[in-house]
Amino acid sequence: MTTVVLPGSFDPFTLGHLDLTRRATALGHHVIVAVSHNPSKQGLLDLEARTAAIRGSLAQEGLEGAAEVRTLPHGLLVDFCREVGAGAVVRGLRSQLDLAYEEPMARMNHHLAGIDTIFLLTASSLAHISSSLVREVHALGGDVSDMLPAASLEALHADSDLR
C-alpha cells in the first residue's frame, strides 16, 4: 500500500474532498489528508475545527485506517511527504483552470524530491463545489447542506453560532 498526501486548507472539507479521499483509498492508497493554514485565503474555520470535521467525516464514511488527518507544518510539501513516507500527492481537478494551476506545482514537487502527483478528475456531480464558494454561499445565508459531509456542516454551524 502506497501512502499519498491530499493537501489543502479544507475550509471547509467538502463532499468533493471526501470523494477524492474515498477514491484514492479505493485505488489502494493510504491517504494522509494534510490540513494547512493558507494565509492568502480568508479563513472561516480554525485549524482545530477543520481537523476535527475531517476526522468526523472520515469516521462517518468508514475510512479510518485507510485515511488519516494530519496538520501540514509550514514549509515545503515535499519535505512533509518525505517525513511521512508518501510516494505521491493527490490533487483533484474540476476544470482546465485547476490543471493550469496545479501542473507547475506538480512539476516543481517532482523536480525537488521526485514526488509524483496523481490527478483525479472531480466527479461531475461535485465539480461546481469549492470551499471558497461554500464559504461565500454560507456567509450570504444560502443552504450548503448538500455540499458538505455532516461533520463539516456541524462545524460550520457551530462557528456561525459563535459569531
Residue 48: partners with Cβ closer than 8 Å, 6 or more residues away: none
The side-by-side arrangement of strands in the sheet containing 88-93 is 67-71, 29-35, 2-8, 88-93, 116-121
CA gap 99, 15 in Å, rounded: 20
Is residue 94 flagged as an active site residue?
yes
Is residue 41 flagged as an active site residue?
yes
Residue 82: partners with Cβ closer than 8 Å, 6 or more residues away: 113
Is residue 82 flagged as an active site residue?
no
Which of the following is catalytic: 131, 135, 138, 152? Answer: 131
Which of the following is catalytic: 41, 107, 111, 128? Answer: 41
For 118, phi and psi rounded to 5 degrees?
-100, 120
Asked whether 27 and 68 are in contact (CB, 8 A), the reply is no
Which of the following is catalytic: 55, 94, 110, 130? Answer: 94
CA gap 69, 27 in Å, rounded: 18
Active site residues: 17, 41, 94, 131
